[in-house]
Amino acid sequence: MKVGDHEYALDGNGFLQEPQSWNEDVAREIARDEGIADMTGPHWAVVKFIREYWLEHDLAPPVRLLCKESGVGVRDMYRLFRSGPAKGACRVAGLPKPDGCV
């Protein structure tokens, strides 16, 4: 995936190979691939909370906390990110893919 002059490697599931290399331009590019043409305020609120939580806990946050901290309602979460919080929002936030059935 090319963003500006930099090439960013994605893994077999489309997640950023080096989560540390994430930045907002990378987020916008992955979001476009998710069908999100324009990252709005609520999109960023979700993505930034996921990012912060992951940096601190090395885990994706549960959707309960995500809704609470971002102020996005649970049904709206799936309108913002069609693939849901795991494969949609976590991918935009540059996390490695969560294990298991996602």
Partner 1 sequence: MASDAEARARALSSALAALDAEAGRQAAIHMSACVRCGLCGQSCHIYRSEPTPANLPASKVEAVASFHRRRHTFLGRHAPRLVGARDLGPRELESLVETVFGRCTGCGRCSLHCSIGLDVSAIIRAARRVLTKAGLTPDGLRRTVRTQIETGNQMAVTPEELRETAAWISDELAGETGHEGARVPVDEAGSRVLYLVNPREIKFFPLSLQAAAGVFYAAGESWTLSTRTCDVTNYGFYAVDDSAAAELTRRVLEEADRLGASEVVLSECGHGFRSFRWEGPGWLGERPRIPFRSVLERMDAWLAEDRIPIDPARNAAVTTLHDPCNLVRWGGISEPQRNVLRKICARFVEMTPNRADNFCCGGGGGMLSMEEFGERRVRSGSIKAEQIRATGARVVACPCHNCADQLLEITRVHGLDVEIRAVVEILYDVIDWRRVRGQTLRS
- Residues with catalytic function: 101
Instruction: By CB under 8 A, tell whether 97 contacts partner 1.
Output: yes
Q: How far is the CB of 57 from partner 1 (least distance, A)?
A: 11
Rg (CA), the chain: 13
Stretch that binds partner 1, among 18-26, 37-45, 46-54, 56-64 (CB under 8 A): 56-64
Could you give the C-alpha distances from 21 to 24, 40, 65, 82, in angstroms and in order? 10, 22, 25, 24
Which residue, 5 or 12, is less far from partner 1 as judged by CB?
Answer: 12
Could you give the C-alpha distances from 94 to 12, 48, 56, 71, 77, in angstroms and in order? 14, 10, 14, 21, 18
Residues 5 to 44: which contact partner 1 by CB under 8 A?
Answer: 11-15, 34-35
Contact residues toward partner 1 (CB under 8 A) are: 11-15, 34-35, 59-60, 62-64, 74-75, 78, 82-87, 97-102
